[in-house]
A = this chain, B = another copy of it.
Amino acid sequence: MNVQRRFRENIVGDRIGADIFDFAARIYPICRSITGDGVRQTLRQIGAHIPLQIHEVPTGTAVFDWVIPQEWNIREAYIKNEQGEKIVDFAQSNLHVMSYSVPVRQRVSLAQLKRHVHTLPDQPDLIPYRTSYYAENWAFCMPHHLLESLRDETYEVVIDSCLADGHLTYGEYLHSGETDEEFLLSAHVCHPSLANDNCSGVALLTQLAKQMAGMRTRYSYRFLFAPGTIGAITWLARNEAQSRRIKHGLVVSMVGDGGGPTYKKSRRGDAMIDRAMAHVLRHCGLAPAILDFSPYGYDERQYCSPGFNLPVGLLQRSMFGEIPEYHTSADNLEFIAPEHLAVSYRLITAAINVIENDAVYRNTMPKCEPQLGRRGLYGMIGGNKDSAAANMAMLWILNLSDGMHSLLDIAERANLPFAVIQRTAQLLEHKGLLVRRDDSSGE
């Protein structure tokens, strides 16, 4: 095995988008919920790529203000008309059954059935995604057009589900870095066949963890694959002391469509992850949205609750709730694409690169400019289209490296990508014009 490589921004080639997509496609058919075998199957798939640690937390366990619910599993479900035709079949789409539906096996009139059906009248061809985790109920979800076509007859409804004491399951993987300060990367695994929300995020983090395995990093990276809300609450309840090690964090969801990118800041608003992600997005060449924290969204709600207030933001492409495909059967494998997944991957690795490599340097020749020409530095990349930027990067770094500005500070002030500032700082350090602040004695 090779010596571990240092983390670099572009740690992979052109295959990454396809690799993420393929993994998302593999886990897409599984019927997940906040508990049950669908989560276990998904975690096993992840575990085929990284040494995932799987946790089972028993029903009834108290986690802060919550209690682990009964485990839900489902074998089959359908609605049959009087002709015996399955007009709705769970085997066709796991969205057809409201998640956590209690078992039912009965004959109902159309009127009775309608009280247990969810549709989207404004999107009549799509199946909605619905859940009822904490209120006992059952329901089918179907296209509104189908509902409208049903005759007034008797229907046989079957949901062969099981709600029983069992476990809540989640998986985590820790990539150990040079310090035990942690960077949390979290994706929810509780949604059934919704490709973007969140097969995309689960697949991206799985591939990132796999790529990172062979690398040396400053931070330790904790990858958490858990059901939304109750899963994050469970992890926090079981790792309260440990959570103080988290210095940076990102919730990753809906990263496979072509929208955004969208970054929602942590509750702190000025955490390093907020600055790094905002910087990367401003230079990504797309049309990013950088939003202040709000307490509605994904598991950043829990990580950023006032008793934790962790520096965890949310990265998405399109913002949740703002696209018509959201929480419908249109969030399928055609809605996500390898090229979008690759872009999302690179945004995250670029932000990690900032956080891994930000540092404060000091100009060793702070009185007037050093003579760059004599060192072959001035216009050295002449002819190269990046030469003007490289020259400006040198001047900015030398001017601001007074022991009080980090590379990210300089990148922001110079309005240049961090990677350009980083490369140029390495060159200047090599030429002896820059030293790391913590390399100097007496500070």
Q: Which residues of A contact B (CB under 8 A)?
A: 63-66, 134-135, 229, 232-233, 236-237, 240, 267, 294-296, 301-302, 304-309, 363, 365-371, 373-374, 391-392, 395-396, 398-402, 414
Contacts and interface: CB of A to CB of B under 8 A. Distances in A.
Contact of A400 (B135, B240, B306, B307): B306
B399 A366 contact: no
A122 to B, nearest CB: 17
Given A134-B374, A374-B134, A395-B295, A305 B367 contact: yes
A302 B369 contact: yes
B295 A399 contact: yes
A403 to B, nearest CB: 9
Contact of A365 (B64, B366, B370): B64
Binding site of A, secondary structure by majority: helix, strand, loop or mixed?
Answer: loop
Nearest to A293: B399
Contacts of A294: 392, 396, 414
A367 B304 contact: no
A172 to B, nearest CB: 17
A367 B64 contact: yes
26 contacts: A64-B365, A65-B368, A65-B369, A65-B371, A66-B371, A229-B369, A232-B368, A236-B368, A237-B367, A237-B368, A240-B367, A294-B392, A294-B414, A295-B395, A295-B396, A295-B399, A296-B391, A296-B395, A301-B395, A301-B399, A302-B368, A305-B367, A305-B369, A306-B401, A307-B366, A307-B368
Given A296-B395, A398-B295, A307 B367 contact: yes
Contacts of A399: 267, 295, 301, 304-306
Contacts of A402: 306, 309
A141 B63 CA distance: 79
A424 to B, nearest CB: 13
Given A305-B399, A373-B135, A368 B233 contact: yes
A99 to B, nearest CB: 15
Nearest to A235: B368
A234 to B, nearest CB: 9
A267 B392 CA distance: 15
A363 B306 contact: yes
A378 to B, nearest CB: 9
A392 B402 CA distance: 44
A240 B367 CA distance: 9
A402 B134 CA distance: 28
A305 B395 contact: no
Given A236-B367, A302-B368, A306-B366, 18 more contacts: A64-B365, A65-B368, A65-B371, A66-B371, A134-B374, A267-B399, A294-B392, A294-B414, A295-B395, A295-B398, A295-B399, A296-B391, A301-B369, A301-B395, A305-B367, A305-B369, A306-B399, A309-B402
A72 to B, nearest CB: 17
Nearest 3 interchain pairs by C-beta: A307-B366, A307-B367, A295-B395
Contacts of A370: 65
A367 B66 contact: no
* A306, A307, A370, A400, most chain B CB atoms within 10 A: A306
A366 B295 contact: no
A240 B366 CA distance: 13
A296 B65 CA distance: 56
Contacts of A308: 367-368
Contacts of A240: 367
A360 B234 CA distance: 29
B365 A65 contact: yes
Nearest to A362: B306
A302 to B, nearest CB: 5
A364 to B, nearest CB: 10
A271 to B, nearest CB: 16
A366 B310 CA distance: 13
A415 to B, nearest CB: 10
